Amino acid sequence: MIKKLAASLTILNYLGSLLFIFGFAMMVPALVHIFFPGPEISARIIAAFIVPGMLISAVGMLLTRRVPDKVPDIQDGMIITALAWVVVSVASTIPLYILLDHSFIDTFFEATSGITASGLSIFTGLDEMPPAVLFWRSFMQWIGGIGILTFFLAISFRGGSAAATLFSAEGHKIQSSRPVPGIFSTVKIIWTIYGSMTLIAFLLLYMEGMSLFDAINHTLTLVSTGGFSTHDASIAYFSNFKLGAMIEYTMIFFMIMGGTNFLLHYKISTGNWRALYEDFEMRLFWLIILGSFLLIGIDIYISHGHKLLSSWTTFHLHFRTTLFQTISVITSTGYATRNLNDPYYPALAKQVFLLLMFVGGCIGSTAGGFKVLRIGVLWQTLTSEIKQLSLPPKAVIPLVIQGKIIPPREVRRICALLFAWIGLIWIGTSLTLACTDLDVSEALSGMLSAVSNMGPFFFSTEELAAFPGGVKISYIFGMLAGRLEVLPIFVLCARLARR
């Protein structure tokens, strides 16, 4: 009993520290309101951001100072991680609920989508929305894109074994080396890379013609591969800009960077450019991108025929649209220059998009999805099993990737994660089919998008907004489970069930 009480107090202590920091982050949109005033009055902004932020920080400080602290074990770390994402999602809902004429479920859905960098939006009328709200949506994705506990560790300067436990629990990924020894040094490198990407992307987008406000917001949702936009038309809004094509190519480049393992960015920064094609996961990543781009492009050409080759302008538009949407989906960014439910995309193209939504980006990136490396491990496992059939029963073929033997425990973990992933998607899809008028592919695209933290789906935002509350809650659970890579949220549910 004493041990359980100590564990519970430790969880509260870490949640308090996180809330103390997050409360200050919640006040930032009030500063944005000063420079980009909208139709809402300052009193409402204070009520929506300043007051809740101060209260959340006060509660966090109280928990941190009054509750004793100890180093959590890996199970407690997972529970801290799961609760942290749930609590921060609820806290993020408060400004949206105060400022917008939407139900709590709708604003909770939007906040969860923002903080998990999923990008599924239930809101329309973005072009007329208060600038402070638009910035808050973008800022949530920027914080959540790299991980809220990674953000917490970077801001709080916490290191040691406790930080290592939390870092491992938030990204419960296949074992991989860190760029440098020491968890705080690793977090510092990750945030240096993330911050540099943010600054460079902002400068490029602003120079290419975006307004200052649009450049800030789209930068935050670009490098986090979140995908929220300040316009209902998403990136198609900029298609008629003088440098609209350059804006799209800039976004393609940074979406790929966001979907790439940050350890690879560190290797490249130290001069190891060969990692771009020598790394096992990156080779598979490039192969999936190229194969998908060709399949989608050819299918569109077969469907629309010679019209796509009538002029260089038309061909370039087709090329750019296909490339942009392929990269946007596989990196889980979810930006759109043309909606995925548009008749422009034939059936095969949509099937490829569904596959990309499942696969997602690389391990150790801001992208969602099942992850390229895990797909590679499962493929290598399959080929090893086929080879095993032609050898004597006692022969052993180790699973080797990038010169390293993958332990059986990691393979079992990946298989368990795959089973849980498919199970969540099936349950959510079934619930959607039972409660809405969507067909199978539309319902599948919605729940797959939620669990994979993607954003795009094969139906309209208005249809999503009209979903029953139960379906929206299943999507919220799917977004949280997918962002935490399922295991921490399952550990939390198991702990609650036992109690």
Residue pLDDT, tens place only, 455-491: 889 998 899 999 999 999 999 999 998 888 777 777 6
372 burial class (0-12, 13-18, 19+ CB within 10 angstroms)? Answer: buried
Q: What percent of the chain has pLDDT over 70?
A: 86
State the Cα–Cα distance between residues 231 and 214, nearest whole angstrom. Answer: 9
Residue 216 has pLDDT above 80, yes or no: yes
Range in 168-182, 301-315, 429-443 with the lowest mean pLDDT: 168-182
Distance of CA 56 to the CA centre of its chain: 25
Q: Which pLDDT band holds residue 285 (cuts at 50, 70, 90)?
A: very high
Angle subtended at Cα 15 by Cα 14 and Cα 20, rounded to the nearest 5 degrees: 100
User: CA neighbours within 13 Å on the CB side: how many for 476?
Assistant: 23
Residue 439 has pLDDT above 50, yes or no: yes
Q: Which pLDDT band holds residue 205 (cuts at 50, 70, 90)?
A: very high
Answer for the pair 292, 330: CB distance below 8 angstroms, yes or no.
Answer: yes
Alpha helices in 116-239 (DSSP H): 131-146, 148-156, 160-170, 183-207, 212-223
| Per-residue tokens: 35 | 């420079």
Residue ranges covered by each domain of the chain: 407-498
Q: What is the pLDDT of residue 174?
A: 40
Residue 5 has pLDDT above 50, yes or no: no
Q: What is the pLDDT of residue 73?
A: 66
What integer is the mean pLDDT of 136-156? 77
Q: At what angle do helices 487-498 and 408-435 cross, to 10 degrees?
A: 80
State the Cα–Cα distance between residues 467 and 37, nearest whole angstrom. Answer: 33
| Per-residue tokens: 385 | 């099993």
Q: What is the pLDDT of residue 173?
A: 45
Q: Which pLDDT band holds residue 12 (cuts at 50, 70, 90)?
A: confident
State the Cα–Cα distance between residues 479 and 474, nearest whole angstrom. Answer: 9
State the Cα–Cα distance between residues 384 and 397, nearest whole angstrom. Answer: 7
- Residue pLDDT, tens place only, 84-98: 889 999 999 999 999
Q: What is the pLDDT of residue 157?
A: 46
Residue 243 has pLDDT above 60, yes or no: yes
| Per-residue tokens: 135 | 């910035």
Q: How many residues does the chain have?
A: 499
Enter the DSSP assignment of 225: T
What integer is the mean pLDDT of 315-327? 92
Residue 229 has pLDDT above 80, yes or no: yes
* Mean pLDDT, the chain, whole residue set: 85
Higher pLDDT, residue 62 or 164 = 62
State the Cα–Cα distance between residues 116 and 372, nearest whole angstrom. Answer: 19
What is the phi/psi pair of residue 417, to 5°? -65, -40
Higher pLDDT, residue 207 or 168 = 207
Enter the DSSP assignment of 401: E
- Give the number of other CB atoms < 10 A from CB of residue 320: 17
What distances in angstroms separate CA 231 from CA 77, 110, 238, 415, one per listed residue?
A: 38, 15, 10, 40
Q: Which amino acid is at 180?
A: V
Instruction: Enumerate residues 6+ apart whose C-beta is below 8 A from 79.
Output: 11, 488, 491, 492, 495
Instruction: Enumerate residues 6+ apart whose C-beta is below 8 A from 17.
Output: 60, 63, 64, 152, 156, 158
Q: What is the pLDDT of residue 154?
A: 55
Answer for the pair 200, 253: CB distance below 8 angstroms, yes or no.
Answer: no
Q: What is the pLDDT of residue 218?
A: 96
Answer for the pair 203, 186: CB distance below 8 angstroms, yes or no.
Answer: no
Residue 148 has pLDDT above 70, yes or no: no
What integer is the mean pLDDT of 99-116? 93
Range in 7-11, 114-118, 429-433, 449-453 with the lowest mean pLDDT: 7-11
- Residue pLDDT, tens place only, 325-379: 999 999 999 898 988 888 889 999 999 999 999 999 998 888 989 999 999 999 9
Q: Which pLDDT band holds residue 395 (cuts at 50, 70, 90)?
A: confident
Q: Give 161-167's long-range contacts (Cβ < 8 A, gap of 24+).
A: 161/71, 162/71, 162/72, 163/187, 165/71, 165/72, 165/73, 165/74, 165/76, 165/77, 166/14, 166/72, 166/77, 166/80, 166/81
Residue 177 has pLDDT above 80, yes or no: no
